[in-house]
Amino acid sequence: MNAADIAARSVSGVAVEVVEETGSTNADLLARAASLSGPLLLVARHQTAGRGRAGRSWLSSNEGSLTFSLAWHCAGGLPRLAGLPLAVGVALAETLERLGVQVQLKWPNDVLRDGDKLAGILIETQAAPRGGTGP
């Protein structure tokens, strides 16, 4: 897994970074949000302090997990993001189904396979600085 391979398969205009290890890809991007010039996908081979909804821990392993976060500027504010967790879950479930993997969605943010959690979707927002146009 490297940034060039991921970028070649991703949406045009999204920068990709891959790191060996981090505490939390989400925390890293939130800390950098004000300085980002465009959308950024941050992928970690291993995440040591990931977190899910309501501050719960999100555990990952070097060989058995995909841990990543995506930061981008969303014009239009919070109302435009209201259905995003569900839309991401549906897109993930449909993609997995096309690959032959049957999953179920558990509201509000979990993807289950055979009753076990396969994925979690966490959407967080951060207000842009006044007058800013960051991602």
47 touches 68 (CB < 8 A): no
Give residue 94's pLDDT. Answer: 94
Which of 115, 42, 104 is CA-nearest to residue 72? 42
Give residue 128's pLDDT. Answer: 66
Give residue 1's pLDDT. Answer: 63
**Angle 55-82-58 (CA atoms, 0-180°, nearest 5)?**
25
Domains of the chain, each with CATH number or no CATH: 1-73 (3.30.930.10), 77-130 (no CATH)
This prediction has a pTM of 0.79
Give residue 129's pLDDT. Answer: 63
